[in-house]
Amino acid sequence: MLNNKSPVYAGIDIGASRTKVALLDSEKNLIGHCVIKSGIDFNQTSRLCLESAMDMAGISMDSIACTVSTGYGRKNAPFSNRTKTEIGCHAKGAYHFFPTAITIVDIGGQDNKIIKLDEQGRRLNFKMNRKCAAGTGAFLEEMSARLDIPLEDMDPLARKSVKMVELGSYCTVFSATEVLEKIREGKKVPDIVKGLFFSVIKRILEMEALSEKVVMTGGVVAHNPYLVIMVKDITGLDILTPQYPQLTGAIGAALFAMDG
Residue-wise pLDDT for 150-189, tens only, equals 999 999 999 999 999 988 765 655 677 788 888 888 899 9
Whether pLDDT at 3 is above 70: no
Given a contact cutoff of 8 angstroms between Cβ atoms, the answer to whether 232 and 120 are in contact is no
pLDDT digits (tens, 9 = 90+) for 191-207: 999 999 998 998 888 88
Give the pairing of strands 213-217 and 18-25: unpaired
Let me know if 236 is exposed, middle or buried by CB neighbors in 10 A (0-12, 13-18, 19+).
Answer: exposed
Gap between the terminal Cα atoms of the chain: 24
133 band by pLDDT with thresholds 50, 70 and 90: low
Q: Measured between alpha carbons, how far is 187 from 196 in angstroms, rounded to an integer?
A: 13
Q: In which band, very low, low, confident or very high, does the pLDDT at 134 lie, cut at 50, 70 and 90?
A: low
Q: What is the pLDDT of residues 12-52, one digit of tens each?
A: 999 988 999 999 999 999 999 999 999 999 999 999 999 99
Whole-structure pTM value: 0.91
Q: For 237-254, write each residue's pLDDT tens digit.
A: 989 999 999 999 999 999
Predicted local confidence at residue 207, as pLDDT: 87
DSSP-assigned beta bridge partners for residue 35: 20
Topology adopted by domain 8-89+247-259: Nucleotidyltransferase; domain 5 (3.30.420)
Counting other chains too, the contacts that 156-161 makes at CB distance below 8 Å and 24 or more residues apart are: 157/189, 157/190, 157/193, 157/194, 158/190, 158/193, 158/194, 158/196, 158/197, 158/224, 158/226, 159/190, 159/226, 160/190, 161/188, 161/190, 161/191, 161/193, 161/194
Domain 8-89+247-259 identical in fold to domain 100-241: yes
Q: Is 59 exposed, middle or buried (0-12, 13-18, 19+ CB in 10 A)?
A: buried
Q: In the chain, what are the domain boundaries? A: 8-89+247-259, 100-241
Whether domain 100-241 has CATH 3.30.420.40: yes
| DSSP summary character for residue 81 | S
| CA gap 35, 33 in Å, rounded | 7
Per-residue burial over 6-38, b = 16 or more CB atoms within 10 Å of its CB, e = otherwise = eebbbbbbbbbbbbbbbbbbeeeebbbbbbeeb
pLDDT (0 to 100) of residue 94: 98
Q: Which residue has the higher pLDDT, 56 or 170?
A: 56
Q: Average pLDDT of 134-144? A: 83
Averaged pLDDT for residues 95-119: 93
Residues 121-126: what's their mean pLDDT?
94
Mean pLDDT over the full length of the chain: 91
Q: Would you state the pLDDT for residue 1?
A: 45
The residue length of the chain stands at 260
